[in-house]
């Protein structure tokens, strides 16, 4: 088989060869073919020395800033010891309910029912809470609240509702909501925005 170039093919080959030559010439001018020239310095020696002095002063403050960072991290670690640690929100709520039930039982109080809630406090922390109902006398209630305050976790009495009883023992009907701080990652992401 013999390959012949016709008049149309000659024009196509000529355009392709000319295009390739133009592209090659352009690439040579952009990426190669000339020596790198030294960039002219636009600042004088005293200005460069002042700039160097400023950089040295900034570098000298780095160890002090690192020490402040370490102190802040240590203080944060001591403050975060009271945060309830759990793998999931439900487990954190269960731990909180268990702690509250143990404290109530130690003070002779039987709790009934429980309601859970959560809310976001900041971008790093959230809050889980549990509400329980019980009947007790005033001394038991005061002892329970003192026991809640003595816990190593960050526990807060968020709501306390009391109704007086009609018996001679002055038994109170109480609804107590206790909350604790948890890492924000445990709380579910709220989907959607405000409707109003």
* pLDDT given for residue 131 in this prediction: 92
Residue 36 is assigned to a structural domain of this protein: no
Does the pLDDT of residue 1 top 60, yes or no?
no
Which residue do the tokens 């002219």 mark? 40
User: 170 by DSSP, 3-state: which?
Assistant: coil
Whether residue 99 is found in the same domain as residue 146: yes
> Would you say residue 95 has pLDDT above 70?
yes
Give the domain range for residue 160: 89-186
The tally of domains found in the chain comes to: 2
Same domain, yes or no, for 62 and 105? no
Which pLDDT does position 154 carry in this prediction?
84
- Asked if residue 20 belongs to a domain, the reply is no
Strand partners, 155: 180
Length of the chain: 196
Query: 49 and 65 in one domain?
Result: yes
Domain identity same for 102 and 180 = yes
For the segment 157-186, what is each residue's pLDDT rounded down to a tens digit?
888 898 886 777 778 888 999 998 888 888
CA–CA separation, 185 and 89 (whole Å): 9
Q: Which of 31-40, 99-108, 111-120 has the lowest mean pLDDT?
A: 31-40
Cα–Cα distance measured from residue 89 to residue 195, given in angstroms and rounded to the nearest whole number: 26
Q: What pLDDT is attached to residue 33?
A: 58
Are 94 and 76 found together in one domain? no
17 within a domain of the structure (yes/no): no
Q: Is 50 exceeded by the pLDDT of residue 195?
A: no
Q: What is the DSSP letter of 118?
A: E
User: Are 118 and 129 contacting, i.e. CB atoms less than 8 angstroms apart?
Assistant: yes
Q: Please state the pTM of the whole predicted model.
A: 0.59
- Specify if 147 maps to a domain: yes
* Residues 107 and 172 both lie in one domain: yes
Instruction: Count CB neighbours of 181 within 10 A.
Output: 21
- The CATH code of the domain that includes 157 is 3.30.70.60
User: Do 170 and 94 share a structural domain?
Assistant: yes
Residue 135 neighbours by CB under 8 Å, 6+ apart: 109, 110, 165, 171, 172, 173, 174
Q: In what order do the strands lie in the sheet with 155-164?
A: 111-120, 125-136, 172-183, 155-164
Q: What is the pLDDT of residues 111-138, one digit of tens each?
A: 888 888 888 888 888 889 999 999 888 8
> Are 142 and 58 in the same domain?
no
Pair 77, 93 in one domain: no
Which burial class, exposed, middle or buried, applies to 124 when counting CB atoms under 10 A from its CB (0-12, 13-18, 19+)? exposed
């Amino acid at each position: 088989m013999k390959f012949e170039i016709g008049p149309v093919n000659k024009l196509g080959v000529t355009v392709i060869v000319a295009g390739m030559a133009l592209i090659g010439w352009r690439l040579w001018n952009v990426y190669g073919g000339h020596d790198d020239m030294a960039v002219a310095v636009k600042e004088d020696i005293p200005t460069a020395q002042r700039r160097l002095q400023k950089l040295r002063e900034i570098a000298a403050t780095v160890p002090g800033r690192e020490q402040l960072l370490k102190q802040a991290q240590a203080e944060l670690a001591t403050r975060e010891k009271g945060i309830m640690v759990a793998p999931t929100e439900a487990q954190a709520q269960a731990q909180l309910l268990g702690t509250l039930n143990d404290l109530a039982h130690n003070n002779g109080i039987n709790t009934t029912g429980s309601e859970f809630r959560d809310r976001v406090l900041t971008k790093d922390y959230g809050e889980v809470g549990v509400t329980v109902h019980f009947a007790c006398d005033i001394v038991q209630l005061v002892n329970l609240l003192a026991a809640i305050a003595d816990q190593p976790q960050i526990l807060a009495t968020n709501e306390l509702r009391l109704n007086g009883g009609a018996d001679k023992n002055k038994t109170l009907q109480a609804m107590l909501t206790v909350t604790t701080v948890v890492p924000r990652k445990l709380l579910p992401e709220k989907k959607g925005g405000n409707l109003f």
